[in-house]
Amino acid sequence: MSSKNIIVGVPKEIYGGEMRVALVPKMISSLKRLGQDIVIEKGAGNRAFFSDEEYEQAGAGVAPNAAQLYAEADIIVKINPPQENMDEEKHEVEMMKQGCTYIGFLNPTKKPDVIRRMIEKTITGFDMEYMPRIARAQSMDILSSMSSIAGYRAVIIAAQYLGKFFPLMMTAAGTIPPVRVMILGAGVAGLQAIATARRLGASVEAFDVRPAVREQIESLGAKCIGLDAIETVETIGGYTKRVSDEFLESEREIIDSRIVHHDVVITTAKAFGENAPVLITDGMVRRMKKGAVIVDIAADQGGNCELTVAGKNIEKYGITICGVINLPATFPVDGSILYSKNMTNFITNLYKTKDGTFDFEDEITRSTCITYQGKIVNKAIKKTIQKEE
C-alpha cells in the first residue's frame, strides 16, 4: 500500500441492530481511482453478507480490529454516529486520528457530546443528514435512499401483522376484496409505500399537504384524498415547512372521515426541522376497524399517531401500532449497496479539488460540514449546542 495515498477506513457498525456496512466491495475500485486506499475492519461486512475475502479481492486491506483501523485511517466512513466501543473500551472518536475526517451520520443536536469530542480532536465532520435537496445532490442523497427502504419495509411489516390478504383473492370459498391502505405523507418513504402496497394488490389512498404530489400519487395508481381542501403549503429546499395548528385541525378531520375504512395506515408525514405532526388521535384509533395495523415510520421523530411508542409494537383497541425505527438497518444487502453508492458519489465530489482541500463554495460540501478546524461550522447546530451549555 502506497504511503502517500489517503486511507479510507470502514469500521464495523456497533449500534444495536445495525446490519449494514458503509462501503461494499464493489465501490472499492471507484475510491482507488481517486487515489485512496481502503481498509475495512475484519468482519465489517459479514452481517450484510460481504466477506473479508471479497473486500480483499476488490483491493481493500483488512484491519484485525477497530483500534488498528482507527489508528490507520485518514477518513472514517461510517453509518451510525460515533459511540462507545465496548470491545475496545474506548469511544470511537477517541480512537480516531487527530485531525482526520469523519463522513456518516452525526445526529449533532441529539448527540452534542460527540460533536464536542470531535472538536477537541479537530476532526472534520460531515453529516449526510444535511444533504441539500438539489438536483446535483440526488446521487449522494443517503436519506432518500434509506427512506425508500423504510417505505417498502413498512408495507411488508403491515402485511406481516394484518390477518388479511393484500390482493383481491378469488377462491372456491368466495371472493376476498383487496385490503385498503392509507398513506399519510407522500414524500420519499410515502411514495415507496404507495408503490409497494399497490404491487401487493392493495387499494391505496394517500394524503399529503403539498399539492404538487397529486400527480405522483396518481401515477402510482393510488387515490389522492383531501388535497382539494388545501391551500398552498410553503417549501424550503424541497422540504415542506410546518403547517399551522388550524391547518392541522382541518387535516385531522379529513383523515378521521377516511381512516375508518382502512385496514392499514402507514404514516410518514414530517415537515423540515420539526417533530412529526400528530395526524392520528386516540379517538381515531378507537374508531378504526378491529385488526387494522398502523405502521408509524415517523416514530423516530415523535410519531404521527398519538399512541405510537418508538421502537415498540403495541396493541390498543384491537389495533396494532408499530413504532418502527431504523428500518434500513434491518435491510442489510440493498441498504449497504445504496448507502455506499451514495457515499462514494459524495466522497468523489468532496475530493474533487486537485490539492485535496475542501471546496466550501460547493453547496453540498458546505451544507453537510458540521465541524472543521476545531469549530462547529453549521450555524444552526452551533446555536442549539451552545444553548444547552
The reply to whether 138 belongs to the active site is yes
Q: Does 205 bind ligand NAD (CB under 6 A)?
A: no
- Nearer Cβ to ligand NAD, position 27 or 327? 327
Which of 11, 108, 112, 187 contacts ligand NAD by CB under 6 A? 187
Q: Which of 102, 127, 130, 144 is catalytic?
A: 144
Which of 104, 112, 185, 303 contacts ligand NAD by CB under 6 A? 185
- Nearer Cβ to ligand NAD, position 112 or 328? 328
Q: Does 305 bind ligand NAD (CB under 6 A)?
A: no
Interacting positions 210-239 with ligand NAD (CB under 6 A)? 210, 239
Q: Does 276 bind ligand NAD (CB under 6 A)?
A: yes
The reply to whether 30 belongs to the active site is no
Which of 9, 277, 332, 335 contacts ligand NAD by CB under 6 A? 277
Q: Does 206 bind ligand NAD (CB under 6 A)?
A: no
Q: Does 190 bind ligand NAD (CB under 6 A)?
A: yes
Q: For ligand NAD, what does the binding mask look like between residues 250 and 269, x meaning CB under 6 A?
A: -x----------------xx
Q: Does 81 bind ligand NAD (CB under 6 A)?
A: no
The reply to whether 83 belongs to the active site is no
The whole-angstrom separation of Cα 31 and Cα 1 is 14
Nearest distance, CB of residue 208 and ligand NAD, angstroms: 4
Q: Which of 29, 138, 257, 386 is catalytic?
A: 138
The reply to whether 133 belongs to the active site is yes
Q: Which of 47, 116, 133, 366 is catalytic?
A: 133
Interacting positions 314-333 with ligand NAD (CB under 6 A)? 324-328
Nearest distance, CB of residue 129 and ligand NAD, angstroms: 9
Which residues are near ligand NAD by CB under 6 A? 143, 146-147, 150, 184-190, 207-210, 239-240, 243, 248, 251, 268-271, 276-277, 279, 297-301, 324-328
